[in-house]
Structure formats: structure tokens, C-alpha cells
Structure 1
Amino acid sequence: MRRRLATAAGALLAIAASLLAAPSPAQAQPRAETQAAPGFHVSDGRLLDANGKDFVLRGVNHAHAWYPTRTPQALKDIKALGANSVRVVLATGDRWTRTEAADVAAIVTECKRNRLVCVLEAHDTTGYGEQAGAVSLARAVDYWLSIKDVLRGQEKYVVVNLGNEPYGNSGYGTWTSDTQNAIARLRDAGFGHTLMVDAPNWGQDWTFTMRDNAGKVFAADPDRNTVFSIHMYGVFDTATEVNDYLNRFTSQRLPIVVGEFGNDHSDGNPDEDAIMAAAQRLGIGYLGWSWSGNGGGVEYLDMATDFDASRLSTWGRRIFDGSDGIRQTAREASVFTSGPDDGSTGGGCAVSYRLSDWGNWFNADVTIRNTGTTAVKGWRLDFAFPGDQRLNQTWNARATQQGTQVRAANESWTETIPAGGTVSFGFNGSSAGTNGVPASFALNGTSCTTS
């Protein structure tokens, strides 16, 4: 397996064989005082939400540290495209402008408003030991402790990613002890969150340091609530490498996610199809890099061109709409759901689509009726135009279009559909041919009748 010779995508953006002997993670028990986990927690190698429901991360990375003013709209757009989570780049202030506590609180609020699980990561550790200016995991822990007050009580919605790619290709021999120490300090300080730890070697673990010591690290967490994150770029350019690495974790019932990956990279061509297929087969999470704003020669990793959700790149279309992609596989965390069906309509739905056709342009008024017995809080409606229609303006909802596929999602004032009640939205558009009514509609993944 080839070493990763180039800096990871995250660092580039800023300048624009079994496990070793350890107690079985499946049998190890958390401390008595955290048996009833207040938020996300790990059980038998799976990540569960606060309701005890299995949760699989399906989302993307967003570079808040460099583009803070873009965050509110970016999170709305990422959610509208189907994601259930977002990994947000924060800065400790050592390499890049510090993300202050008030800013972190605002990010968490936006994540919750958009019903996204927030994975917060400290980026200044990227390539420590090799990259000039990078800081240690211990320094990242100092940052987390300094913003503890805004994270307390958010365990249902936030995963804390200790430090991005905490070693380059030098000095990684202390990764195990440094990670254990970082976890211990946060637990001693009262952090009850699920903690995510990145691999060394620019996140790609070509030395298998994380793979071969993950059991030790997990067992050293008194809460047994640690998830491991591998970044897959050029080192993972074949399906064999992807599957072997991930299978080593799942066979040991150790929780693993793909915290970053792309469809290309300066250090080689990752096999994104194999990564997404393996994640779906194994039921593990993935978070693609990245929404927008890449520089340093990896601009092709932008999913949205210039942060515009209507201008998805080839990579953006692949991860959101392709096989094993986000739109097809993401399921919302049950902590955001009022009803019992983890994001379903709670029973049923009916859609009325009234078309006003003027040839090369049209208006559509859409009414969604909740025919179920519980309120729907937060919704997305999927449908396909029957011809060559293009969205222009939308009101009372946010909408995105890819090809003929359209997804509309609620605004804050249209968020709730009461049991037996309705919400309405509308849009206008243009067409090169005859307009028509979509054949079918799905509300939060549930097929609706038409009326």
C-alpha cells in the first residue's frame, strides 16, 4: 500500500492481522453513571442516537473556519440535498482564526434547525509532526475544554471529533497514547459526548497505527463511547484496500466511519464507488470532502460550485445522487422526529399539485396533507418533472433541482404539518416544451397519494 505523499484535502483547503490484544469492545461496559447515555452512544460496535436507534452518518464536510458567513446557507442546502449530518471545520486559534464559543453555539443551533447531526472537528492538528504550525491533540483538548459550556447539553445532537488528521507521516508512534490521554482528559472534565478520533498519516493510516491499536483506545475510554474515523484518498484506490480496512473494524465490533473521502486527489485516485458501496453494505457512516471552497489545487473536490447548490459538480452529483449516495441512503436521526417512525410521515400523506401553464413558463401550487396520526416536524418532498422544466423561484419552501429530480424542504415557518393538517408552497419555472404534473411524490421517503 502506497504512502500518502500529499497533504490531506483539509490542509490543502486552508491555503486558498487482527487488532492487538485488548478487552473485547463488545463486552466492555461503560461507567455506571453513564449507562443511561444522555446522547449518542456506542453499543456493540454501532452508533446509536439518544433514543437508542441505530444511526448511520451520511453527510459532507463544510469548511466553516474559512467561510463562516457561508455556514447558515450551506447547512440549509446540505440538508435539502438529503444529508443527515455535517462535519464542521473549527479552528483552535493556533493556525487559523479561532472559532469562538459563541460561534460554535450558533453552528450547533443551525445544525439543529436543519435537523443535521453536527460533527465538530478541531482542524489545527492537521499533519502534526510534519506540517509547520500544526498543534498536538493535547492542544486540541485545551480548545474543547475552553468551549465546554456551549457543548454541555448537546450530546443528543453533537459528536466531538478530537482533532483532524492529528499526525502526518512523522511522529505518529505516539498516536495511541496521545489519543488515550486526550479522551481521558475530556471524560474527566465531564464530556459525555460520543468522541470521534482520526487516524494518523494525514488521516489515511497507511501504517495501520489506528487499525492495530483501536481496541486499546476504545477500551481506555471509560464511557466506551469512541468512534474511529479513517480518511480515504489515494491510499484507498482499490476496492480490496477499502474493504479490508473497514472489515477489520466491523469484524471486531469497533465503530468506524469514513470521515473524509473524495472522487480524486493529488496523491492518487480514491475508489469512491467502493468506499460508498462498502459503507452501505456494512452500515457505517461516511462524510465526503467537501461542500465548497477548496483551494491549493484540489478545487475539484468542491461539491457545490461557489457554494451554489444549484451548480453541483460531478463529485457533488455523485455523492448526493449516485449509487449508495446520500439522497438514497440517508436516514434522519430519530431525535429530530416527533412521531414514532424515525422521520416518516407518521401514517400517510397526500399531495395536490395545481399547474398554471403558459407554454414556456409556468406556476405550480403544491399542498401537502398529513393523513397520519402524528405531526410531521421537518419535511422534504421529492418528485420529478415530467419534461424539460427548470425551477426559477420558490416560496414557503427551499428547493433544489438535479436533472429532472426536485427536492423541496420546509422553511422555518412551514416546518410542521399537523396530524390531519396541510402546508403549501409554490414555485415558478420555465420550460422548452409541454408542461405537466409529476407522476409521484414522496414525503420524507414515504410515497404519497395525489389529489
Structure 2
Amino acid sequence: MRSRLSLLPGAALATALVALGATSVLATSAQADTPPGLHVSGTQLVEKNGTPFIARGVSHAHTWYTSQTATAIPAIRAAGANALRVVLSDGHRWNKNDATDVANIISLCKANKLICMLEDHDTTGYGEEGAASSLDVAADYWISLASVLKGQEDYIQINIGNEPFGNNDTANAKWSSDTQAAIKKLRAAGLHHNIVVDAPAWGQDWKNVMQAAAPAVAASDPDKNVLFSIHMYGVYNQASTITSYLDAFKTMGLPLIIGEFGYHATSADVDTATVMSEAVKRNMGYYGWSWSGNTDPILDMVLGFDPKNVSAWGQQVLNGVNGIKSTAVTATIYGGTTPTPTPTPTVTPTPTPTPTPTPTPTPTVTPTATPTPTVTPTPTPTPTTPPVTGACTAALQVVGTWPGGYQATVTVKAGSKAITGWKTALTLPAGGTAQGWSGTFSQSGTTLTVANAAWNGALAAGATTSYGWVGTGSAPAASTAVSCG
């Protein structure tokens, strides 16, 4: 979409820009005298009072699931988060989220004591994805929302554009200049919020374009309030790759967050244990992708927007070691306490679009209008075969099916005594294969054997954990017995 400013005739445009520039000088001077809300200090994001704010957050796909937001935000808070990253559209690619809509989101975040990062998703893959908008268009979008953004500097951050460049080297060469121009445009318009900038290469910066240009981008901001964001998917499948990238920003003395990460990508499983442990070790913020609504539910933390139906991925990022629930601290602007789980509203299913991942080597899971098989959650089955007695029991649930494949989870429950490890086995339909998570998988013929992962083997008496997989071929019957010992 074109901004009103871009429609002005040349002379009027020049006059407007001169006036705007003069205004920006005054605004910047005033800003220097008045401490901002959320802002960077060295390598840390801090609140207005100087207290570090370490985000433990979740992304919510608001622009495609507007009907779910009113219940999703309280549920995300109840799950333990202290921060929320909200997917918005500038209208270039998807339906625009206007000022009224965004004001309501901010109110919901404040009511639920969440620091709210607002992001424009239409920029995803610019330079490679033809439908994507530019950072300049994104900047105009934020300026159009100025009336509801100004005055909220303690509570919100502006993530100018999600993954604003793809893997096109020619386009990516403009990442630094385009990012600097967008930052200056926002400041000139009087927006003095903490600005978050995503890396190119679908957010993963595997050629270190953002890393190399970060000092120049940081220096270009009149407010000196830029936070860099790396997205960790298939590129980050081993600890050394993760720590090397994080170390580079530490050495430069620049602030960095992990703005998205997931534990499975098309190219490789992500070393999420290292992502989370390093973030905790370094007092670095992270945001898991995403609460719910992915067509392939492997990256849904809860299935069908039901906070009671937590997936294996959700268990890890919300409840696992170095997870959100155990490490989140509420911002001091809200009182600085850890989240207290509260009853969440009953989610009433409503018809919603079915997003699909953008087909790139390792991008954010981004919806398109392409029809895809809809994954329909099914009730947890009651096995007709008595479970095997012993140190633990296990129950199978087929989460959803589509032509040629399915997703399933198994819940493992310790018996009357605590256990230090577990191993399960079940029979798959002939010809099927499984690719899984949250366990150590092996397959011989039709027998699938799964042992605990390093982080979920120890269970107290009666405690549960789960693992899951995406399978090819037919799904196992709901009555399939799973041995556990």
C-alpha cells in the first residue's frame, strides 16, 4: 500500500520532508533529555528504570487468527510468558491490521502484563518472495499507527519487518542501507520506541550480513535504541553454530535476542536445548515460534489454540529445562513478579484460515493462500489393549492426518515410583516411517522404538512427558498398544 506522503506532488513532498526533518531534530533533542521506555544499554534491553528485561516469549499469529487473540493472549500469560510477539500485516500481502485493532492488542498485552513486540510480517523474504513488502513500506505502516503507538514506549517494541530479506545476495546487499533508512524514518516521525531489526536470509543470517553491518546500523539510530534479532531454524542445528553467532554480538558489545526459534525445520532439527540454555546463560531474550495455527502443527505449542492440549514442542519451550515458565520474570513496569497461572477462557473453535510455511530452506513458518491439508485434532484415545505394566505407561494419540501422512504423539507416565529414564515401543503400519522429536528414535521394520531425550528422562511418580513424530503412510490405529519400561 502507498502512504499519503508518497502521493504528494514533488514540491509539496520536498516541503513536507523539510518540515519533517526539522521536527525530527526537535524530537530527538527532547528524547535525549527524557529517558525512553524500553531501551538498550550495552548488550541488554532494559526498562526505563534501568532494570534488564529478559524476554521469555511466544509468537502469536494475530493477523491470520484475529478471532483467537482475545483468548490466546491470556492463555500465553497463564503459560508463564512475560513477553509476546504479535504478527501483523501492513496490508500489502495480507489483511491490514489497523490502528483500532493494534490499540486493542496493546490493551490486551498490558492487561496481561506482557511486554508486546509488534512485527510487520508482510516483509518476509523481500527480494526473493515477490509478494513481500519492503522495509520502507513497513516504516510507513508504523507511522500510520503513530496515534496508538506513542506513549506506549514502556510496554511495546517495534519489530520493523519480519525476516525482511530472503536468500537473494543482490537484494541482501541492501539490508543495511534499507534498515538504516527505515529506522531514521521512524525516528523522524517521532516514534522513539525500542526498534527490533530482523536478519536477512529468512532471519537466519547464515552469511553473516547482519552481523557484519550491525555496528553501522546501531550507530545510525539517533536514539541509539536498536535491538538485533536472529531467527534460529535449520541453520542452527549444532551448538557450535549457535554459540559462535551469539559470541560475535557479545564481542561487538551489541544487543541481540533470539526473535524466533523452533525445534524442527525442513532441513534439520534445531538444537533447541543449546538455544535455550545459552539464552539463559547470557541473560538473552528468546521467543518461541509459535503458540498455535501452523498448518504443520509440529511447531504449534498448543494444538487448536487449546491451552490444555500442549504439544511436545510446547512442553519443551514452556515447561522444559530453561523454558519459559521457569525463567520468565515479569517486567517491573507491571510489578516484577513471576507469572501466576490463572484459569484461561474456554476457547470456542471458530473457522480460521490454514496457514502454510513459506517454501524456503529455513524460513519462519509463514501462511500463504495455497490450500493445504487441514490437521484436525482428535480426542485422546482409550486403548482397547491393556497397557503394559511396569515402571511407566504410554498412550498414543493421532493428532491429525492428511493424504500420505499424519502426526502422532505418545504420552509417557511414570508409575508409583520416580524413574530416571524410559523406553517405549509400538508397531507402525507397514511401509511407514517416522521423523520425531523429544526422544531418541530408532526403527526396525514396523517397530518404532523411542527412548527418552537427555532432558525428559527423569520423571517423578505419576509425572508425564511426551514425544511426537510426523509419519509417512497410514496412521497407526488409536488402539495401538505402546509398551513402556
Q: SS of the counterpart of 1:214?
A: helix
Helix, strand or coil at the partner of 1:195: strand
* Contact 2:261-2:288 within 8 A present in 1 as well: yes
Name the SS of the counterpart of 2:260 in structure 1: strand
Q: How does 1:226-375 map to 2 (within 5 A)?
A: 226-295=226-295, 298-337=296-335, 342-343=336-337
Matched residue SS, 1:65: helix
* Equivalent residue number for residue 426 of structure 1: none
Structure with bigger strand share is: 1
Q: Which residue of 2 aligns with 1:168?
A: 166
Q: Distance in 1 between matches of 2:267 and 2:92?
A: 27
Task: Name the aligned partner's letter for residue 260 of structure 1.
Answer: E
In the alignment, which residue of structure 2 is the partner of 1:97?
95
Cα deviation, residue 118, structure 1: 0.4
Q: Which amino acid aligns with 1:99?
A: N
In the alignment, what sits opposite 1:404? none
Q: 2:140 is paired with a residue of what secondary structure?
A: helix
In 2, Cα distance between equivalents of 1:288 and 1:267:
18
Letter paired with 2:254: L
1:391-444 CA deviation, whole Å, 9 max, x = no partner?
Answer: xxx6xx879xxxxxxxxxxxxxxxxxxxxxxxxxxxxxxxxx9xxxxxxxxxxx
TM-score (norm 2): 0.64
Say what the alpha-carbon RMSD is for the aligned residues: 2.0
Query: Match of 1:305, as an amino acid?
Result: L
In 1, are the aligned partners of 2:77 and 2:341 still within 8 Å (CA)? no
For 2:252, what is the secondary structure of its paired residue? coil
Q: CA deviation at 1:132?
A: 2.1
Give matches, 1:45-444, under 5 Å.
45-170=43-168, 171-295=171-295, 298-337=296-335, 342-343=336-337, 380=340
Native 8 Å contact 1:62 1:87 kept in 2 = yes
Task: Tell me, in whole angstroms, the C-alpha distance in 2 between the residues paired with 1:84 and 1:253.
Answer: 25
Question: Does the 8 Å contact 1:121/1:162 carry over to 2?
Answer: yes
Alpha-carbon distance between aligned partners in 2 of 1:139 and 1:159, rounded to the nearest angstrom: 18
Distance 1:55 1:106 in 2: 23
Q: CA deviation at 1:51?
A: 2.1
Give the deviation of 1:269 after TM superposition: 1.2
Q: CA deviation at 1:35?
A: 4.6
C-alpha distance in structure 1 between counterparts of 2:173 and 2:83, whole Å? 32
Contact 1:31 1:222 in 2 (8 A): no
CA drift of 1:270 comes to 1.0
Gaps (5+ residues) in structure 1?
1-29, 345-378, 383-393, 400-432, 434-451
* Secondary structure of 1:138 counterpart: helix
Q: 2:143 corresponds to which letter in structure 1? A: L
Letter in 1 for 2:105: I
CA distance in 2, matches of 1:310, 1:290: 16
Letter matched to residue 380 of structure 1 = T
After superposition, the Cα gap between the structure-2 partners of 1:398 and 1:73, relative to the gap in structure 1 and judged at 3 Å, is: closer
Q: Secondary structure at the match of 2:63?
A: coil
Higher RCO structure (Cα 8 Å, ≥6 apart): 1
User: How far, CA to CA, are the matches of 1:31 and 1:245 in structure 2?
Assistant: 35
Contact 1:250 1:282 in 2 (8 A): no
Residue segments in structure 2 that go unaligned for 5+ positions in a row: 1-27, 347-415, 417-485
In percent, how many aligned pairs have the same letter? 46
Task: Please say if residues 155 and 194 of structure 1, whose CA atoms lie closer than 8 Å, have aligned partners that are also in contact.
Answer: yes
What amino acid sits opposite 1:70 in the alignment? Q
Residue type at the aligned position of 1:290: S
- Residues 237 and 271 of structure 2 are in contact (CA less than 8 Å); yes or no, is this contact kept in structure 1? yes
TM-score between both structures, scaled by the size of structure 1: 0.69
2:481 maps to what in 1? none
Note if contact 1:85-1:116 (Cα within 8 Å) is conserved in structure 2.
yes
Moved over 6 A (4+): none
Q: Distance in 1 between matches of 2:61 and 2:103?
A: 16
Find the aligned partners of 2:273 and 2:189 in 1 and give their Cα distance: 41
Given that residues 80 and 398 in structure 1 are in contact (C-alpha distance below 8 angstroms), is that contact kept between their aligned partners in structure 2? no
Contact (CA 8 Å) 1:145, 1:186: kept in 2 or not? yes
Deviations along 1:146-200, whole A, 9 cap, x unmatched? 1111101000000000000000011101000000000000011111100000000
C-alpha displacement of 1:72: 1.2
CA contact (8 A) 1:231 1:258 kept: yes
Q: CA deviation at 1:381?
A: 5.8
Task: Give how far 1:251 is off.
Answer: 2.2
TM-superposed CA distance for 1:32, in Å, is 6.7
The answer (yes or no) to whether the contact 1:117–1:333 under 8 Å persists in 2 is: yes
Q: Report the number of matched residues.
A: 320
Q: What one-letter code is carried by the residue in structure 1 that aligns with 2:277?
A: A
How far, CA to CA, are the matches of 2:83 and 2:142 in structure 1?
20
Q: Secondary structure at the match of 1:260?
A: strand
> Does the Cα contact within 8 Å between 1:218 and 1:225 map onto a contact in 2?
yes
Cα deviations by residue, 1:241-264 (Å, 9 ceiling, x for unpaired) = 000101111222201000010010
